[in-house]
Amino acid sequence: FILLDYSRELEKQLNRFNQDLVEFKLHRGGHIDAITSTGMNLLFYKENFRDQLERLENLITFELVSGKLNNIKSIDLRYKKGISVLFI
């Protein structure tokens, strides 16, 4: 049930900028692949998911002000202290 909790927490963050979670997969290596209704891809590790989600929350807050959220193609949160963002 922990993955269900993770997907719900992620959905709350995505809803802040009108995105819906359409796919949430755990892969054998322990990474999680999430895809939104607009095709944005988000990558997490199962381990330390909440830390990664907090970094995503900070990014969303920052980008809501900048107006660039809808130009993001993918976000990789698997780094220990950072993220990688690919813009369209």
CA torsion, ordered 4, 47, 13, 67, to nearest 10 deg: -150
Rounded Cα distance between 39 and 51, Å, is 23
Per-residue pLDDT band for 26 (boundaries 50, 70, 90) equals very high
Task: Tell me the one-letter amino acid at 27.
Answer: H
Q: Does residue 67 carry a pLDDT above 90?
A: no
Strands 21-26 and 72-76: unpaired
Q: Does residue 1 carry a pLDDT above 80?
A: no
Whether the Cβ atoms of residue 69 and residue 61 lie closer than 8 Å to each other: no
As a whole number, mean pLDDT of residues 33-61 equals: 95
Tell whether pTM > 0.85.
Answer: yes
Per-residue pLDDT band for 68 (boundaries 50, 70, 90) equals confident
Q: DSSP per residue over 35-51, as a string?
A: EETT--EEEEESTTHHH
